[in-house]
């Protein structure tokens, strides 16, 4: 009996979304859509996060399986878009941040987002740049809302979200979480389309969709 033929999914890599800038200390940061071959870099990045940072982003996920890492690095760039921010250390590329959104299965005008910046690289504007990139792409692709869930014990993300113009509301099902959401506007300031109602009436489960599912 012949071996089953493997199935491959090939998606066009959106190279036009790559952005490079220099931090005040001279470090060059590259923000780029994730690639399948980033899987080991993502594994190293996740291992390097402090317990608190990991908990804030992944809310209790333990070790990541190969299948979960594959879900984070093999994406379609359309319904699931992920950026990694990388720096070069001793000629090797290291991931210092991960920001992603997943379009709502039912309400295609909304995407749920999450981000995490390595502890040593926080407070240098990398998160801001990453969310700006996610918002701009989402807007260009016709989405109207970006939304997320944040632990109510996460002042850094709540301050970040407030600074970036997200509205904060109570979570209907979990009082340890808050919802944040933002209407997507063009860089010139006009809202896209008309009558985009608040995404706040959506079902729960957003967080789960941004956590890699177990194998």
Residues that bind ligand COA (CB under 6 A): 53, 56-57, 114-117, 122-128, 148, 150, 154-157, 159-160, 163
- Give the β-pairing of 177-183 and 145-151: antiparallel
HEC letters along 89-139: ECCEEEEEEEEEEEECCCCCCEEEEEEEECHHHCCCCHHHHHHHHHHHHHH
Cβ 207 to ligand COA, closest distance in Å? 8
Let me know: does 108 contact 74? Beta carbons within 8 Å: no
Measured N-to-C along each axis, helices 66-73 and 39-48 cross at an angle, to the nearest 10 degrees, of 110
Let me know: does 122 contact 74? Beta carbons within 8 Å: no
Residue 109: how many CB atoms within 10 A of its CB?
17
The span from the CA of 82 to the CA of 35, in Å, is: 9
Q: Among residues 43 and 114, whose Cβ is nearest to ligand COA?
A: 114
Cβ 56 to ligand COA, closest distance in Å? 3
- For ligand COA, which residue has the nearest CB? 127
Q: Among residues 171 and 192, whose Cβ is nearest to ligand COA?
A: 171
Using CA atoms, how far residue 133 sits from 47, 63, 81, in Å, is: 25, 29, 11
Q: Among residues 124 and 171, whose Cβ is nearest to ligand COA?
A: 124
Q: Among residues 57 and 139, whose Cβ is nearest to ligand COA?
A: 57
- Provide the Cα torsion 154, 157, 162, 163; round to 10°: 140
Q: Among residues 53 and 71, whose Cβ is nearest to ligand COA?
A: 53
Cβ 123 to ligand COA, closest distance in Å? 4
Cβ 122 to ligand COA, closest distance in Å? 3
Q: Among residues 170 and 197, whose Cβ is nearest to ligand COA?
A: 170
Cβ 146 to ligand COA, closest distance in Å? 11
Cβ 157 to ligand COA, closest distance in Å? 4
């Amino acid at each position: 009996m012949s071996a089953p033929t493997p199935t491959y999914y090939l998606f066009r890599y959106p190279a036009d979304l790559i952005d490079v800038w220099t931090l005040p200390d001279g470090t060059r940061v590259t923000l780029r859509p994730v690639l399948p071959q980033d899987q080991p870099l993502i594994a190293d990045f996740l291992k390097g996060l402090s317990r608190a940072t990991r908990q804030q982003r992944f809310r209790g996920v333990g070790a990541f399986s190969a299948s979960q890492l594959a879900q984070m690095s093999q994406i379609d760039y359309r319904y699931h878009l992920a950026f990694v921010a990388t720096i070069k250390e001793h000629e090797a590329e290291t991931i210092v941040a991960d920001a992603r959104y997943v379009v709502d299965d039912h309400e295609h005008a909304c995407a749920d987002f999450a981000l995490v910046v390595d502890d040593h690289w926080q407070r240098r504007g990398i998160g801001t740049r990453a969310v700006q990139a996610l918002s701009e792409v989402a807007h260009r692709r016709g989405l109207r809302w970006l939304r997320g869930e944040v632990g109510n014990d996460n002042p850094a993300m709540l301050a970040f979200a407030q600074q970036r113009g997200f509205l904060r509301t109570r979570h209907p099902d979990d009082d340890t979480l808050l919802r944040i959401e933002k209407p997507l506007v063009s860089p010139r300031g006009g809202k896209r389309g008309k009558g985009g109602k608040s995404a706040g009436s959506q079902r729960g489960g957003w967080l789960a969709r941004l956590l890699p599912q177990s194998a």
